[in-house]
Structure 1
Amino acid sequence: MNRKNALAAAVAAALALGSVAVATTQSTAAAPQSTTAAGTSAARPGAGFRAMTADARGEAIRTAGRNAAATARALGLGPDERLVTKDVLIDADGTRHVRYDRTYRGLFVIGGDLVVHLAKNGRITGSDLAHQGPIRIAGTTPKLTAADASAAAVRHAKHVRHAKAGGKDSTLVVYAVGKVPVLAYRSTVTGAGENGPASRQAVIVDASSGAPLDQYELHQNITGTGNGVTVGQVSIETAQSGSGYSLTDAAHGGTVVYDSYNSPQSNPRQNARPFSKATNSWGNGTNSSRESAAVDASYGLAKTWDYYKNTFNRSGIRNDGRGAPAYVHVDNSLLNAFYDDNCFCMYFGDGSSQNGNTPVTALDVAGHEMSHGVTAATANLTYSGESGGLNEATSDIFGSMVEFYANNSSDPGDYYIGEKLNMTGGYMRRMDNPSADGRSLSCWNSNAGSVDVHLSSGIGNHFFYLAAEGTGAKTIGGRSHNGTTCNNDTFAGIGKDKAAAVWYRALSAYMTSTTNYAGARTATLQAAADLYGTNSQERYLISKAWAAVSVGTALPDPGPGTPTPSPTTPPGGNVLTNGSFEQGTSGWTQSQNIITNSGQQAARDGSWYAWMMGYGSTASESLSQSNIGVPSTGTPKLTFWLKTTTQESGSTAYDTLKVNVNGTTLATYSNADASSGYVQKTVDLSAYKGKTVKLEFAGTEDAYLPTVFLVDGIAIG
């Protein structure tokens, strides 16, 4: 959620480039900084990230750490919270983007990550928070023991069979993915699953009741079919020691490729040792040499490193110049490859009879897996729900971009994922037409957060393809592509390099662990404004691509100058859009991520609803829709369903929800109107008959106990 926070007065700490000053922070949806002339295609000066040496990056992180306490106070965080610096990115013009994790009384906060944006002079200009406001929980003493939590996690685990976990596998955390943080345990459960006989799953359970809060796979991987490729005759970086050579790539952070010698997936490094030999010629292009798969992995990881370095000035997965070790020939008949952030390493299986025992070391696979590490080091998108789909889409996007970058005639760039992996269908996923596999989602719908993340990734993949290439049939990399849309729109793309620049900036500077598809739209529109201008065709076409996959609506075409003005003539009937919220944020403007399908509350109908307030601290929120045509006949009225729950008592209105039309309050509801379920409300709109209006739901909350207002089923008629 991104809330505009009024920051405290001056922060006394100093940054390397000047003392910290504060301003009202703004979410990524707020007005962007000054831009180039409308419609220009060049990036704005200062919009790209600087290259930094390891020493410069280390000093920037240390500086941010010294200012963490002052920044926490400026953001209005609580006295028991601490900010831990994760990374710092600096634009060419000196603008800084500081990414922090949060702790509460020493406990890691899941969903507590945030990004703070600072001008060159140290002035805070904005912030993006996965969880808005301070963390407040009743206490940090759990009712359950770690062993109890592990047992509960085993019962709730859905992605593994014969699940098991011990007391040492559960860690006490604060779970702040919803609006109301809770004390929880994060448990690691192992068992047989899609990732093999030693699959691992994270299960989050309430520390008081053991109720499940979330769960997701810990191996972020390409699954289901098996992958392997021979990249042909290529040059790879090696190291010489005495009279021998090893697959150690000093030019790319000291990356070492190991032969796992078929160590079990539960312990892939058990028998592992580095590839080494007397000569500097590796592999023969077939499985008869164990070196062939290692050549593929070494080449793919080097090309991925080079792509990020030469395109975004990023030095390795964590932007610290370190290479991640890679292990090939993991397990037996393992149809899988995965990145594991716990060990900062990558694993590649040998495939199985399902794909002709082709090793899972394709070029786009290497780019995919290494990009999971980049995501973990930046937005750290939670590997479940819509954020999990975005996580997978990010790896598909950059895996494809690495393939284009490598320009290898044996594997030319295209938007097919795993097309060199000897699969029955010829590919794993298609970005131009995700649903062609019969399973993946091409268009957003209200169940997108409930399907497997490899399937919901299709929404992000489809968006990226359309943003890059536009609509229509074409041949790319020798393969047929067809950019169809969910709304029958047609438009041109901005080019893959510009689209990738927008996605990387959004991922690095604006997305957080809980970002969903609506939030990704907001982040990419801000990134496009940063890079190309608020009124640029690039930003407009980004919005068109999102609308084409059913996420939000397209912005007005800026044309050669200012955007097209909104209509002023009121229509004859109601045009309120998406009153049930089943199309997500489409049609609505929200100050925070109010529109949700979170399972922590329930919609009246369908899966989506508006969740307003419930922080237990001083706060305000708004949800609005403009250009609504009130019917010109009869007795027009606004109806909606409202559920109010509160920890307040008595009849005093401490927390309120107001219904405003064209700035005039027509109805007010408060904590005193608490209800056990949804209650239909009616507001007379006779005074606005035949007019175009702006409808707003405005919530306010005082500094103490929380009140939650749930809104659904809005209609005007």
Structure 2
Amino acid sequence: MRFTTPRSHTVRSTALLASAALCAVAVQTGVAGAQAERGPSAMAVPMSPDQRASEIRGAQDNAAATAGRIGLGAKEKLVARDVVKDANGTVHTRYERTYAGLPVLGGDLVVHQEAGGRTSVTKSTEAAISLTSTDAAQPASAAARTALSAASAAHTAKPSAGTPRKVVWASSGTPVLAYETVVEGVQRDGTPSELHVVTDAASGAELFRYEAIETGTGTSQYSGTVPLTTTKSGSSYQLNDGARGGHKTYDLNQGTTGTGSLYSNATDTWAGGRLTAGVDAHYGAAVTWDFYKNTFGRNGIRNDGKGAYSRAHYGNSYVNAFWSDACFCMTYGDGTGNKKPLTAIDVAGHEMTHGVTAATAKLIYSAESGGLNEATSDIFGTAVEFSANNSSDVGDYLIGEKIDIFGNGKPLRYMDKPSKDGNSVDSWYSGVGGKDVHYSSGVANHFFYLLSEGSGAKTINGVRYDSPTSDGSKVTGIGRDKAAKIWYKALTSYMTSNTNYKAARTATLSAAGALYGTTSTEYKTVGAAWSAVNVK
């Protein structure tokens, strides 16, 4: 999951343009029921890993009854993936769907069960699934060849296609029998590639493709002297955080595979040389874990109490950082000339949030859902930076301002007016899904800034902002903490893989209504902020 730089924008442009219209449908069903919840009691109840696992098992035990209750067909089954319980008794259960035993891509849904018994459903698609057969006219080998051709078009080096799996493609249009093939390789800028290619099992035509690698005390380079949680092993110390699920930090030593070596030191004072990037990476993981736990009660990236791991010093002069679900890990390059590692706080928060999104809404990394995926990482990367309260890297609404990608001190992105970077968009228009997801994210980034701080000129932590609105309206913000809680609840309880901007407006209104009531200032400001970025 990539924290992109200008060097890599062209890598997926063909795929993005070709598939821009494919993920634009997200159906919100039963929203009124979800909005009936009120007040802080709609906040999620923290659960231990064992409690969460028990709730998921219980949901799976009742999956057949749930499928019948919400009107799924006889060949359709539900697979429970996550459960969120609100303090007021409402339970939000996230499911994947199968058809005749095959995974349904784009078939995910969330069932909302209120304490009083009322049920509502948020679906990724409302399209009915009815296949005449699950026998494929095209062989799997043909799907693999098409996938390799797609990887070639995406300029993927060293491509290697895995075994195609038979699926039902339901993310757009009429559901069809299809193959999904994952091609591993290397992107043009040195980032690993996990290109998912979906092909029609009847005609062999490519239906969709997306890139799954989303880009993406010690003395640190960006945060000053910081506290580190380490583990003593024998006579040395290791960057192994036992207080946060066993998160480990490794030195790849300019390699691009494996884990390299676990950072170790003779003393528990970490400073200088190759240790510095490790300190920043380990600290960034810790403050991200703490933000999610202290703010939302979330126990780790997957909410299962298990730590991910971080890899520093990836590649040679690699100007990027990325999250990968495959390894459940964060990876940081050292920047141009190996002089500016991409290990700043907001980068860590951004990349690890891709893992949170993958564990919840699974927003497809293309078109408008991809823009929302990237924006979610910018939003919570920013929130992590504010939450860290680090005097050497104070909170701001600038993305990647410390890593100096351009060599002139300018940040990668601006949340108050995204178009200041020369590529991002300030407001929605009908073709926004055709832009690179790092630029279409501007719509949601701008929304979040307006919801938090409001429109117009102001100075926050010494940084000057001047946020416009598309309709000339004036928006008064509700504060960053409330805005973050609304976005998190929308992500974890109401968004699905195909959520687009219109559906994101609905999801955040549902979240605001649940948290603060549908007559509240918070609810009204959510609507006003979306209107201010032309999502109406």
Contact 1:327–1:347 (8 Å) recurs in 2: yes
Counterpart position of 2:360:
378
Alignment of 1:636-675 (within 5 A): none
Counterpart position of 2:269:
281
Deviation at 1:279, TM superposition (A): 0.8
The answer to which structure has the higher helix fraction is 2
Contact 1:29–1:523 (8 Å) recurs in 2: no
Q: Which amino acid aligns with 1:142?
A: A
Contact 1:230–1:292 (8 Å) recurs in 2: no
Tell me how far apart the structure 2 counterparts of residues 320 and 443 of structure 1 sit (CA, whole Å).
36
Counterpart position of 2:172:
178
Counterpart position of 1:306:
290
Tell me how far apart the structure 2 counterparts of residues 393 and 168 of structure 1 sit (CA, whole Å).
30
Counterpart position of 2:30:
27
Equivalent position to 2:318, from 334, 343, 348? 334
Tell me how far apart the structure 2 counterparts of residues 302 and 231 of structure 1 sit (CA, whole Å).
13
Deviation at 1:403, TM superposition (A): 0.3
Deviation at 1:126, TM superposition (A): 0.8
Alignment of 1:138-287 (within 5 A): 138-157=132-151, 160-161=154-155, 165=159, 168-196=162-190, 198-222=192-216, 229-264=221-256, 267-269=257-259, 272-284=260-272
Deviation at 1:34, TM superposition (A): 5.2
Counterpart position of 2:8:
none
Counterpart position of 1:359:
341
SS in 2 for 1:101: strand
Q: Which amino acid aligns with 1:230?
A: Y
Contact 1:3–1:27 (8 Å) recurs in 2: no
Distance 1:85 1:498, change over 3 A: same
Counterpart position of 1:627:
none
Counterpart position of 2:488:
504
Tell me how far apart the structure 1 counterparts of residues 355 and 153 of structure 2 sit (CA, whole Å).
22
> Does 1:292 pair with 2:276?
yes
Tell me how far apart the structure 2 counterparts of residues 176 and 29 of structure 1 sit (CA, whole Å).
26
Contact 1:172–1:185 (8 Å) recurs in 2: yes
Counterpart position of 1:693:
none
Deviation at 1:283, TM superposition (A): 2.1
Tell me how far apart the structure 2 counterparts of residues 34 and 504 of structure 1 sit (CA, whole Å).
16
Counterpart position of 1:78:
73
Equivalent position to 1:442, from 426, 442, 449? 426
SS in 2 for 1:304: helix
> Matched residues, percent identical?
50
Tell me how far apart the structure 2 counterparts of residues 195 and 518 of structure 1 sit (CA, whole Å).
33
Tell me how far apart the structure 2 counterparts of residues 390 and 3 of structure 1 sit (CA, whole Å).
16
The answer to which structure has the higher strand fraction is 1
Contact 1:229–1:360 (8 Å) recurs in 2: no
Instruction: Give 5+ residue unaligned stretches, structure 2.
Output: 1-24
Deviation at 1:45, TM superposition (A): 4.0
Alignment of 1:586-601 (within 5 A): none
> Does 1:522 pair with 2:506?
yes
Counterpart position of 2:417:
433
Q: Deviations over 1:398-456 (max 9, x none)?
A: 00000000000000000000000123351000011110111111111111111110010
Counterpart position of 2:453:
469
Which structure carries more relative contact order (alpha carbon 8 Å, separation 6+)? Answer: 2
Distance 1:215 1:97, change over 3 A: same
Q: Deviations over 1:243-297 (max 9, x none)?
A: 2110000111110001112222xx243xx1211122111122xxxx111001101
Equivalent position to 1:54, from 49, 52, 56? 49
Distance 1:477 1:453, change over 3 A: same
Deviation at 1:189, TM superposition (A): 2.6
Q: Which amino acid aligns with 2:131?
A: I
Deviation at 1:58, TM superposition (A): 1.4
Distance 1:56 1:197, change over 3 A: closer
User: What RMSD in Å do the two structures reach over aligned CA positions?
Assistant: 1.9
Tell me how far apart the structure 1 counterparts of residues 79 and 358 of structure 2 sit (CA, whole Å).
15
Equivalent position to 1:325, from 297, 300, 309? 309
Deviation at 1:317, TM superposition (A): 0.6
Counterpart position of 1:642:
none
Q: Deviations over 1:627-681 (max 9, x none)?
A: xxxxxxxxxxxxxxxxxxxxxxxxxxxxxxxxxxxxxxxxxxxxxxxxxxxxxxx
Q: Which amino acid aligns with 1:501?
A: K
> Does 1:411 pair with 2:406?
no
Q: Deviations over 1:51-83 (max 9, x none)?
A: 111221111111101001111111111222221
Q: Which amino acid aligns with 2:214?
A: Q
Tell me how far apart the structure 1 counterparts of residues 470 and 152 of structure 2 sit (CA, whole Å).
32
Deviation at 1:32, TM superposition (A): 2.2
SS in 1 for 2:126: coil
Distance 1:164 1:234, change over 3 A: closer
Q: Which amino acid aligns with 2:291?
A: Y
Deviation at 1:327, TM superposition (A): 0.8
Deviation at 1:119, TM superposition (A): 2.1
Deviating more after overlay: 250-259 vs 71-80: 71-80
Distance 1:268 1:473, change over 3 A: farther
Q: Which amino acid aligns with 1:182?
A: V
Deviation at 1:28, TM superposition (A): 2.4
SS in 1 for 2:31: coil
Q: Deviations over 1:493-544 (max 9, x none)?
A: 0100011011000000000000000000000011111111111111111111
Tell me how far apart the structure 2 counterparts of residues 315 and 162 of structure 1 sit (CA, whole Å).
36
Tell me how far apart the structure 1 counterparts of residues 158 and 144 of structure 2 sit (CA, whole Å).
8
Counterpart position of 2:21:
none
Contact 1:256–1:324 (8 Å) recurs in 2: yes
Higher-Rg structure is 1
Tell me how far apart the structure 2 counterparts of residues 437 and 401 of structure 1 sit (CA, whole Å).
21
Distance 1:31 1:113, change over 3 A: closer
Equivalent position to 1:88, from 83, 86, 110? 83
Counterpart position of 1:67:
62
Distance 1:130 1:251, change over 3 A: same
SS in 1 for 2:225: coil
Deviation at 1:191, TM superposition (A): 4.5
Deviation at 1:343, TM superposition (A): 1.8
Distance 1:33 1:238, change over 3 A: same
Contact 1:169–1:189 (8 Å) recurs in 2: no
